[in-house]
């Protein structure tokens, strides 16, 4: 079953703008992870936020987690054309498996 729902399904912005993607989930989690997928390729891990954390940064990425609302957001600042990809959230409730959302397709126009 798909625990994560992502919003929006697709996002198109201009280079230099910020991109925000949201993820909602249904059950309690240990952590939430964000992955990136370039067209026709495998997923690449971007950032992980644990259930006791509220915000985390990595370079141009900022992730927030609100466990009371069961939601997370991924912010990409100063976007570049190379950021064009699909972005997926994934939740981990035990140490054995992840449950992925449907993804947000981000297009950054030069």
CA 38 to CA 26: how far, in whole Å?
Answer: 27
Q: Which of 21, 43, 65, 106 binds another protein (CB under 8 A)?
A: 43
Q: Considering the complex, what minimum distance in angstroms separates the CB of residue 41 from another protein? A: 5
Residue 33 or 73 with smaller CB distance to another protein: 33
Residue 44 or 78 with smaller CB distance to another protein: 44
Q: Considering the complex, what minimum distance in angstroms separates the CB of residue 52 from another protein? A: 11
Q: Is 12 in the site for another protein (CB under 8 A)?
A: no
Q: Is 95 in the site for another protein (CB under 8 A)?
A: yes
């Amino acid at each position: 079953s798909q625990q994560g729902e992502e919003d929006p399904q697709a996002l198109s912005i201009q280079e230099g703008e910020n991109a925000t993607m949201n993820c909602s989930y249904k059950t309690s989690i240990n952590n939430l992870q964000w992955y990136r997928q370039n067209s026709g390729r495998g997923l690449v891990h971007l950032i992980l936020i644990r259930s006791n954390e509220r915000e985390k940064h990595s370079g141009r990425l900022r992730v927030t987690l609100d466990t009371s609302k069961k939601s997370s957001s991924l912010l990409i600042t100063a976007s570049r054309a190379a950021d064009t990809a699909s972005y997926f959230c994934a939740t981990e409730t035990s140490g054995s498996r992840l449950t992925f959302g449907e993804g947000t397709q981000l297009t950054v126009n030069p």
